[in-house]
Chain A
């Protein structure tokens, strides 16, 4: 079956590729354009490791075909730090030891990036509910929740400053 031409904007850069329609967005990011920060953990839409922002909204890149997203704006974990400087959420992850093996981390960061954008002052319950879409086997979540709440405060302080 024929290949199809698509253009996706990923982290502000346009990528035009001829691809097999069945290629998932996750595989497109990882293997077609070499952005391997997005990880595939289950390929059936439960673990959330592959979460990216699709036109600003979190989504599982294993449950989307790249052809569906022709013309879309995709944001991945690679976009978070600026010039190698960790952003506030990333810093909070390091300070609170919110990652161990680091495999689920990119998905966690993308989910929380959306959450903190849409809910600048989330409750712990909202953080935990929202993280329900991201599995972590190493941390037991506590440090991730702490990091998210701390980041919310520091982002608020940064906005006021």
Chain B
């Protein structure tokens, strides 16, 4: 299990990196390498050129810009995990990070790498989708910004063009006091989830749902939102019966894969159950406790 040969490049600026990916044949961007190098060792991926972004300082860091947290694509998961800013402004991300791999992989793995690998069971794409984050993509042609929903295109697939590099992810923060919940089920702690669910709620007067985000992983080609359930609940009080019906109906239509870890039925089952748990936690935190399962 040794990788195929490649040439290694270590640009020190984004401009250099963009030149490289625009001009090299069959390049691959190396971020933290925690998925990519494993796939290279298996020879599932055989780039001719590896462009390592680790020495590009401008790609790393967490910055508070008003109501938005801008996170450089090369920011290590470890930095997110121990960031007070993240714990305070993006508590859902903080909670989800506890489920991301292991100590050794979080030390090296990056947020941009996770979003670009886009494993359907990964946590950080789910978090980006939950927040309606936007991603900034750069190429020699210029910069563009698209929503996480558009970026996370499908199974291990993103909207990144061959000459582009993911520069940063911008997370609009939710109002202080919003409720959130995150539940996922993996066979062992730290494994990729079989399925997971995140919920965020903002309640208005009379416990009316003003804002709701329900996001799942493990049950589709990529992380996905329960749009219909969200729409059905916004503007209403949280009613556990209505909520359950909406979730059951919407999840039932999902078409997750059958694989060595789980059947599609089981993934749907988990999605329903974990969504209810996540919403119950979120509701509780937002000040409108509801029945738990």
A and B touch in the complex (CB under 8 A): yes
Bitwise, A1-42 to B at CB < 8 A (1) or not (0) is 110100000000000000011101001000000000000000
* Inter-chain contacts of B78 with A (CB < 8 A): 57
Contacts A1-B5, A2-B7, A132-B188 known; list 17 others, CB within 8 Å. Answer: A4-B8, A21-B7, A22-B2, A22-B6, A24-B3, A45-B37, A45-B38, A58-B107, A59-B107, A63-B38, A63-B108, A64-B37, A64-B108, A65-B8, A68-B8, A68-B10, A133-B190
Residue of B nearest to A130 (CB): B103
When distances are taken between beta carbons in the complex, the residues of chain B under 8 Å from A59 are: 104, 107-108
Q: Does B50 contact A (CB under 8 A)?
A: yes
Query: B105 on the interface (CB 8 Å rule)?
Result: yes
* Shortest distance from the beta carbon of B177 to any chain A beta carbon, whole Å: 29
* B interface residue count range (under 10 / 10 to 19 / 20 to 34 / 35 or more): 20 to 34
Contact B3 A45 (CB under 8 A): no
Give CA–CA (A14, B174) in the complex, Å: 49
Q: In the complex, what distance in Å separates the CA atom of A24 from the CA atom of B4? A: 12
Q: Contact: A1 with B6, CB < 8 Å?
A: yes
- Asked if B155 is an interface residue, CB under 8 A from chain A, the answer is no
- Chain A contacts with B in 103-137, Cβ cutoff 8 A: 111, 114-115, 129-130, 132-133
B143 at the interface (CB under 8 A from A): no
Q: Give the contact-size bracket for chain A.
A: 20 to 34
**B34 and A63 contacting across the interface, CB-CB below 8 Å:** yes
Nearest B residue (CB) for A66: B8
* Interface pair A129/B189, CB less than 8 Å apart: yes
Contact for B104 among A1, A48, A70, CB less than 8 A: A48
Can you spell out 17 A-B residue pairs with CB atoms less than 8 angstroms apart? A1-B5, A21-B7, A21-B50, A22-B6, A43-B2, A44-B42, A45-B34, A45-B37, A45-B105, A60-B104, A62-B37, A63-B37, A70-B10, A115-B103, A129-B189, A130-B102, A132-B190
**Given A59-B104, A59-B108, A114-B103, A21 and B33 touching (CB < 8 A)?**
no
The answer to whether A48 and B2 touch across the interface, beta carbons within 8 angstroms, is no
Q: Do B33 and A63 touch (CB < 8 A)?
A: yes
> Do residues A58 and B103 form an inter-chain contact, with CB atoms below 8 A?
yes
Considering only residues 1-31 of chain B, those with a C-beta below 8 Å from chain A are 1-8, 10, 30
B188 contacts across to A, CB distance below 8 A: 132
CA A44 to CA B217, docked complex, whole Å: 23
Question: Chain B contacts of A62 at CB under 8 A?
Answer: 37-38, 41
CA gap between A52 and B149 in the complex, in Å: 37
Chain A contacts of B10 at CB under 8 A?
A: 67-68, 70
